[in-house]
């Protein structure tokens, strides 16, 4: 047994992975990588961005079922980053510990606008692990105050999306907490096949326009068994989106669920086949709002 484990380890090392083991009960070899193997510190102060990028590259290049673990009990500070695909095979990002953003908006350069943890062009990606992704958005929110007492806010044009999945296929985000996002907690843009479930998505009620999940130009999206408590919309569906299912969602405080809102250019809204089931919407400003669309031919239909 020991010998076998060692052989696996060696093979994985040869394949460019830092560590590997056979998960109990696994028939196929599962490769398990840890952020710490790539030099991450996890003390909440160090810059662990480079380690994440290296770990992602290794995971992405490895065939088979790859697990990349963000260890429990630690806090990894990550600067804005794009983790791009396509990858060789499926990737499971196990967020067991905390991933935190730099606190100051000044840490974002011009090229980083609008993103924090940005996944692009990835298929077969799953995020789970029970940990926390914390955007630490307080300074971003403060920057949107329109008066000295912060009683009204303007929309922050460039505040980043915390977890942004763009041009993706078969992505699942399950059983983690996403909190204090600078703007959107999760965003799916041009994605096909999404499951966002058993999520706890929270920001203070006063955090301006913090959105739970933004779905834009995406199809076949299941948002279920989630708790949203944010300053803006719990779920916002815009763009050319269809086959969206919302089920067993708790929303509030927040503005509610919006379909067809937010976007400046509403002429590209073609939203259809939205199914809702068992929604607990309490203490919200708008409840379920379906925005009027005034452009030539777009339509919002089949909201059940
Ligand atoms: C943190 O590391 C990333 C990647 O190496 C780098 O782009 C960023 O500028 C670093 N931030 C600071 C404050 O050093
Ligand atoms: C802000 O609050 C202070 C103290 O309550 C008040 O005197 C002042 O008029 C307020 N300013 C605005 C712009 O509302
Ligand atoms: C809005 O979108 C339509 C269709 O995508 C485009 O033709 C038009 O130029 C856009 N208008 C603005 C103001 O961006």
Q: Which CATH class is domain 2-18+30-144+157-303?
A: mainly beta
Residue among 229, 230, 233 at smallest CA distance from 250: 229
State the distance from the centre of ligand 3 to the C-alpha of 258, rounded, in angstroms. Answer: 21
pLDDT in tens, 29-76: 688 999 999 999 999 999 999 999 999 999 999 988 899 999 999 999
If one counts every other C-beta atom within 10 angstroms of the C-beta of residue 253, the result is 19
In ligand 2, the atom with minimum distance to the C-alpha of 149 is 1
Kindly report which listed range (9-13, 95-99, 205-209) carries the lowest average pLDDT score. Answer: 9-13
State the distance from the centre of ligand 3 to the C-alpha of 265, rounded, in angstroms. Answer: 6
Q: What angle do CA 10, 26, 168 make, to 5 degrees?
A: 90
**Nearest ligand, measured from the Cα of 268:** 3
Q: In degrees rounded to 5, what are phi and psi of residue 303?
A: -95, 115
Which tokens in the block code for residue 152? Answer: 């009204």
Give the pLDDT of residue 183: 93
Beta bridge partners of residue 205, listed in sequence order = none
Tell me if 79 CB under 6 Å of ligand 1: yes
Q: Is 24 exposed, middle or buried (0-12, 13-18, 19+ CB in 10 A)?
A: exposed
pTM to 2 decimal places: 0.82
Cβ proximity of 178 and 133 under 8 Å: yes
Domain range summary for the chain, segments of one domain joined by +: 2-18+30-144+157-303
Asked if the model's pLDDT at residue 9 lies above 60, the reply is no
């Amino acid at each position: 047994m020991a010998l076998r484990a060692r052989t696996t380890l060696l093979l994985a090392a040869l394949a460019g992975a830092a560590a590997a083991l056979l998960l109990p009960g696994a028939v196929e070899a599962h490769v398990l990588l840890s952020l710490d193997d790539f030099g991450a510190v996890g003390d909440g102060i160090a810059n662990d961005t480079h380690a994440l990028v290296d770990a992602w590259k290794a995971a992405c290049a490895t065939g088979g079922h790859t697990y990349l673990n963000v260890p429990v009990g630690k806090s990894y500070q990550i600067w804005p980053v794009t983790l791009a695909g396509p990858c060789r095979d499926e990737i499971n990002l196990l967020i067991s510990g905390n991933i935190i953003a730099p606190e100051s908006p000044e840490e974002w350069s011009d090229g980083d606008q609008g993103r924090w943890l940005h996944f692009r062009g990835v298929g077969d990606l799953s995020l789970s692990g029970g940990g926390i992704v914390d955007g630490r958005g307080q300074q971003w929110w403060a920057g949107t105050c329109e008066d000295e007492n912060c009683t009204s806010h303007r929309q922050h044009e460039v505040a980043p999306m915390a977890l942004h999945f763009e041009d993706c296929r078969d992505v699942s985000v399950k059983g983690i907490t996403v909190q204090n996002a600078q703007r959107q907690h999760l965003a799916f843009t041009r994605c096909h096949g999404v499951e966002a479930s058993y999520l706890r998505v929270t920001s203070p009620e006063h955090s301006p326009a913090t959105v739970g999940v933004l779905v834009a130009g995406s199809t076949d999206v299941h948002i279920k068994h989630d708790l949203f408590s944010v300053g803006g919309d719990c779920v916002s569906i815009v763009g050319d989106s269809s086959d969206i299912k919302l089920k067993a969602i708790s929303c509030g405080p927040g503005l509610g669920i919006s379909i067809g809102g937010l976007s400046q250019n509403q002429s590209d809204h073609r939203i259809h086949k939205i199914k809702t089931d068992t929604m607990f919407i309490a203490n919200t400003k708008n409840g379920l709002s379906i925005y009027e669309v005034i452009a030539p031919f777009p339509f919002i239909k089949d909201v059940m």
